């Protein structure tokens, strides 16, 4: 597999094959992230197309201070925001949502009254792995926008916490809260579906 640094050099040399490889590698991730900023899949595709144009026009200016992946995401986020999505520095942490985990699951000392069941090890007994992965993707789509953005970047696309904060203009604490709440909500939804909630 060609690494990103080599792709950058080939792109700068005008290699169309390098561009095709880059699109194959990142297009779906970019569309997935764009859908969290814009109102429809069609607009998300437009934003991603604008992102690819930005890459072609700006590859000579890419300095390598961040990874190519982070640079792509930054272009996308800027395009998505300029497409009309309101910009914000701090994000409300769902004050009406309530506790992340049902307080009834803890004893008087704050310890688990009954520890969470390790359902992931038995998931194959109830759902095949492919079906579970598809269901998790559906559940991620149902997360609140800010949680969905952070979970997609961190857990699906493997973007670092630092880069996620920079891409979404979040404080480190806010990013951690959104990631925790998103993961907890996903776990809760899966537990309910699997009859363990």
Structure confidence by residue, pLDDT tens digits, 140-195: 988 999 999 999 999 999 999 999 999 999 999 999 999 999 999 998 888 887 77
Give the pTM: 0.63
Tell me the pLDDT band of 109, cut-offs 50, 70 and 90: confident
Rounded-to-10 torsion of CA 58, 23, 71, 156 = 170
Q: 96 is written with which tokens?
A: 């009406």
The pLDDT value recorded for residue 26 is 94
- 4-13, 60-69, 93-102: range with lowest mean pLDDT: 93-102
> Of residues 112 and 179, which shows the higher confidence score?
179
Q: For the chain, which domains are there?
A: 4-82 (1.10.1740.10), 103-193 (1.10.10.10)
In terms of Cα–Cα distance, which of 191, 182, 177 is closest to 114?
191
Model confidence at 85: pLDDT above 50: no
């Amino acid at each position: 597999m060609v690494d990103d640094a080599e792709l950058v050099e080939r792109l700068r040399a005008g290699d169309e094959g390098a561009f095709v490889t880059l699109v194959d590698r990142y297009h779906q991730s970019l569309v997935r992230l764009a859908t969290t900023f814009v109102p429809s899949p069609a607009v998300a595709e437009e934003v991603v197309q604008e992102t690819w144009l930005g890459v072609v026009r700006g590859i000579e200016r890419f300095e390598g201070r961040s990874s190519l992946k982070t640079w792509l995401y930054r272009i996308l986020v800027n395009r998505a925001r300029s497409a009309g999505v309101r910009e914000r520095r701090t994000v409300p942490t769902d004050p009406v949502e309530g506790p992340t985990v049902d307080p009834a699951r803890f004893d008087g000392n704050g310890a688990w009254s009954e520890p969470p069941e390790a359902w992931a090890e038995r998931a194959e007994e109830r759902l095949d792995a492919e079906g579970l992965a598809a269901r998790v993707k559906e559940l991620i789509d149902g997360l609140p926008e800010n949680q969905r953005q952070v979970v997609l970047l961190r857990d699906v696309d493997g973007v670092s916490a630092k880069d996620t904060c920079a891409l979404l203009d979040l404080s480190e604490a806010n990013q951690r809260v959104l990631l925790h709440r998103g993961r907890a909500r996903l776990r809760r939804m899966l537990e309910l579906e699997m009859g363990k909630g």
